[in-house]
Structure 1
């Protein structure tokens, strides 16, 4: 199924958007590797597999595969064909362990495993701090090389709220493989996990040219949502204050006219 989906989806994407690629020679012709990418758009998991000569497997929410009805079955078939691997994320800790276990299994089969160290899409196009759990633990458990990848301009193709995608050329920069064999056997050292993740994020930053923000993207999203909520509430209060002032002015005018 993957081969057929790659021809249909990948071929259509390349024809319509003509993505440019640098560093394709850094993808090994065979053997395992971990592809660590920045995450700007839902389409990242489509454009990257479309330009690679080999299958790459990403982790996806289990809900994408279990939605009932015809539409649900079509969605499940699409994600399976695109190389997505379902993981139940209903419990935060259990979800993380399941994702790590699935990633290790993919790598141990000698395949390419794709992961977004930021953990979620960037809310504003900047590069956020990588989470040390998934990437580092899969790397140390398997000894596979990490290949940093930068997706360029994919967030501009279909910004939030836009239904019709904009036809433009996104880019993909693929860095040189990174060897972390010196950290073997240190997977329980949180400082090692942090150091490994930060080194990969630094390479992604150099490839992407993004501004780096030293907080997690999930925290930034929460801050943005809270700021938007506060702004909306302040606007509401200002509008109400204006209405109250207008009403008081009208009442004062009536009293003045009556006297």
Structure 2
């Protein structure tokens, strides 16, 4: 069975959680001891065991998923935390296995990947999914338009929570093209209040509507940057 269809909506078992704990410990050392991560609005972070949560963040560094993990993902989580990753990473068996054990699944960049959209729609009710609506890292740190596919996921899955997130400073920690991260940098991550998108759910599904949904998400992410002290 291919990696694109083998994901099952079940919580991680003991040994998978142990593997996650080992990985989180490494990233905690790198990001929170050798660097500094400042967290804004702790009250908006998903509670342990919550599911049906979609975390939507801006994307400025390859380290962004790990910044979210060390600030929000609980040790020994009873539900899966998942995230899409670019399909190219799944060409290597070892990398594919590692990403898969962390709840990652492939997505084709640059065009609408209907299979990935279906996968996220299916898994979201029983998972926490972290997604970057821009689709790829911003080349200049500025927020890029969100992809309509994210709006379709929200429309179809109707998540219990959609949480906007703004990350700042991770691009200085690991700029594009750099292999090893810098040390003693400060990263700020701001968790916004859950968005009420229910007004869209009674409207007729369309690409235009999906774009309107994700536009609201992106506006909320930008507002977090503007409102930060």
TM-score over 0.5 for the pair: yes
- The separation in 2 between residues aligned to 1:173 and 1:47, in whole angstroms, is 11
The corresponding residue for 2:3 is none
Does the aligned pair in 2 maintain the 1:18–1:169 contact within 8 Å? yes
Question: Larger helix proportion, structure 1 or 2?
Answer: 1
**Which 5+ residue runs of structure 2 have no aligned equivalent?**
1-15, 75-79
2:20 counterpart of 1:5: no
**Which 5+ residue runs of structure 1 have no aligned equivalent?**
211-259
| Aligned residue among 149, 152, 156 for 1:137 | 152
- C-alpha offsets along residues 172-200 of structure 1, whole Å, 9 cap, x if unaligned? 00000002122214362333222221111
Which structure would you say has the larger RCO, counting Cα contacts within 8 Å and 6 or more residues apart?
Answer: 2
In structure 1, the residue corresponding to 2:186 is in which secondary structure? Answer: coil
The corresponding residue for 1:207 is 224
Does the aligned pair in 2 maintain the 1:34–1:107 contact within 8 Å? yes
The corresponding residue for 2:62 is 42
Deviation at residue 81 of structure 1 after TM alignment: 4.4
When residues 46 and 163 of structure 1 are mapped into structure 2, their CA distance, relative to the original with a 3 A threshold, is same
Q: How many residues align?
A: 200
Does the aligned pair in 1 maintain the 2:61–2:176 contact within 8 Å? no
Deviation at residue 142 of structure 1 after TM alignment: 1.7
The corresponding residue for 2:103 is 83
- The separation in 2 between residues aligned to 1:199 and 1:19, in whole angstroms, is 27
Deviation at residue 22 of structure 1 after TM alignment: 0.8
Does the aligned pair in 2 maintain the 1:141–1:187 contact within 8 Å? no
Does the aligned pair in 2 maintain the 1:22–1:174 contact within 8 Å? yes
- The separation in 2 between residues aligned to 1:27 and 1:14, in whole angstroms, is 17
Deviation at residue 121 of structure 1 after TM alignment: 0.8
The corresponding residue for 1:174 is 191
> Which aligned segments of 4 or more residues in structure 1 are displaced greater than 6 angstroms?
none
Q: CA RMSD in A?
A: 2.3
Does the aligned pair in 2 maintain the 1:137–1:193 contact within 8 Å? yes
- The separation in 2 between residues aligned to 1:187 and 1:105, in whole angstroms, is 20
- The separation in 2 between residues aligned to 1:160 and 1:53, in whole angstroms, is 25
- The separation in 2 between residues aligned to 1:187 and 1:121, in whole angstroms, is 31
